[in-house]
Amino acid sequence: MLSDISSTEGRLAVTAAIVLGTLAVGWLLLPRAVRAGEETVSGWVGRLLDERLSESTEGAVETLREGIPASFLLRLAVGLLQLALFALAGVAVLTLWGRFELVVAVLPVAENAVRVGGQVIASAVLLGGAYVVSDVVETYVGELSADSDRITAHQEQLLTRLVQVGLLVLAAITVLGIWGVNLGGLLVGAGFLGIVLGMAARQTLGSLIAGFVLMFARPFEIGDWVEIGSEEGFVTDITIMNTHMRNFDGEYVVVPNDLVANQAITNRSREGRLRIHMEVGIGYDDDPDEASEIAEEVLTDVGVIANNPRPYAIPSGFGDSAILLDLRFWIDPPTPQARWRSKALVVERIQERFADAGISIPYPQRTVSYPPEKTATDATVERVERADGNGDGRPRDGPV
């Protein structure tokens, strides 16, 4: 239709109409239409999310709404539509004036420009979307951790970082695929690099894997009183590679996670209470029942010791020098200070009460007896004869 107009006046009139129409649509109608459409879609999506999603995801949805730059996306959409409209108007004007061969000549360049522009836009959308979704995941995991006691702060941080890194890596691989990068060669190179790094850093990778195992197994948490191998103290931090502790001497101890995973772990804080075991000996001439009653009274009166479960003292065995009483009691909450203080108070008060009751706590002792057919004098003579070597009681000549 445009090529059929041959008069100059007609071409000028049509050109003016095309320019005015393009400006009116591109600068006046198009932004308003896009803005109205964006408001309609946003309201519909908001109502859908409010109806379908639970309360635990409301914070993530708000983060998604705040994280997506709506004004930037709106300007981008308007700009792309305006560019397409102006390009169409330019093609129409060139066709009107009989210069369509310019359109044909410029078409390959335009196709390349459109393709590159599409790749740039797709890459920006993917990377921006991954960044926004990572923020949404962080908010969602944080709210989920706040509502649940099963997710620790360490697990929350580690899980968030893993998801964020996974999203960014996936977005980066997708962007490389959009730009036509040979992913096969990159994967092969990454495989060889992974083998080399795995052989060179076996202990580091072992600590890394052990860190994930500790995260899911949860044998202890930050603030717990634990014993790991020969180290004992409070856990101050748990990272992917190491477990940080502070022992009772105030020293800062760092234990690699691979060593933590391969040793016995004693968590004294897990149950919220700790049982203390002590022994005390009484003389064989004393009454074990009376001593047990006195010991139980002492354990009950010590304020540091918990009364539930009830502390008890029972005769447990015959020692070399005494009858042994087994003392068992609980402290709640379990702390090193409570353990040391309870033991000190039990020792002091049992010693006082036993002394008042006339119950002895004997020293280690040994009784020497002789066979009935020999007297102590005969045994002494026999030892002297063996010492001098000649049987006459006189020292023999020369060194002995």
Mean pLDDT, 10 residues at a time, over the chain (400 residues)? 64 74 72 71 61 48 50 66 75 69 66 75 80 77 68 68 79 80 68 66 70 78 88 87 88 88 86 89 92 92 87 90 92 87 92 92 80 58 49 47
For residue 257, give both structure tokens. Answer: 């996670």
For residue 231, give both structure tokens. Answer: 């180290």
The answer, as to whether pTM is greater than 0.75, is no
Of 3.40.1190.20, 3.90.1310.10, 3.10.129.10, 2.30.30.60, which CATH number belongs to 182-268? 2.30.30.60
Q: Is the dihedral of CA 2, 3, 5, 9 positive or negative?
A: positive
3-state secondary structure of 254: strand
352, with CB counted inside 10 A (0-12, 13-18, 19+), is exposed
Judge whether 116 and 164 are in contact, CB under 8 Å: no
Give domain limits for the chain.
Answer: 8-150, 182-268, 274-357
265, with CB counted inside 10 A (0-12, 13-18, 19+), is middle
Give the model's pLDDT for residue 202.
64
Q: How far apart are CA 243 and CA 129, in angstroms?
A: 35
Helices 70-96 and 8-24, packing angle to 10 deg = 170
Tokens 């009454």 belong to 287
Q: Which of 310, 231, 217, 306 is nearest to 270 (CA)?
A: 217
Judge whether 211 and 240 are in contact, CB under 8 Å: yes
Give the model's pLDDT for residue 343.
92
Give the model's pLDDT for residue 60.
46
Give the model's pLDDT for residue 200.
59
Q: How far apart are CA 305 and CA 341, in angstroms?
A: 10
Q: Are strands 225-228 and 231-238 parallel, antiparallel or unpaired?
A: antiparallel
The alpha carbons of the chain give a radius of gyration, in whole angstroms, of: 44
Q: How far apart are CA 203 and CA 348, in angstroms?
A: 49
Task: Identify the H or E element spanning 41.
Answer: helix 30-52
Give the model's pLDDT for residue 229.
86
3-state secondary structure of 148: coil
Judge whether 283 and 360 are in contact, CB under 8 Å: yes
The residues facing 318 across adjacent strands are: 323
Judge whether 285 and 325 are in contact, CB under 8 Å: no
- The residue count of the chain comes to 400
Q: What is the DSSP letter of 4?
A: G
Per-residue CA distances from 249 to 4, 231, 243 (Å)? 98, 11, 18
Q: How far apart are CA 181 and CA 24, in angstroms?
A: 42
Domain boundaries 274-357, CATH class:
alpha beta
Backbone angles phi, psi at 180, to 5 degrees: 80, 20
Judge whether 75 and 34 are in contact, CB under 8 Å: no
3-state secondary structure of 139: helix
Q: How far apart are CA 87 and CA 108, in angstroms?
A: 14
Return the percent helix, strand and coil in the chain, to nearest 5.
Answer: 60, 15, 25
Per-residue CA distances from 207 to 214, 240, 263 (Å)? 10, 7, 13
Tokens 């002394």 belong to 355
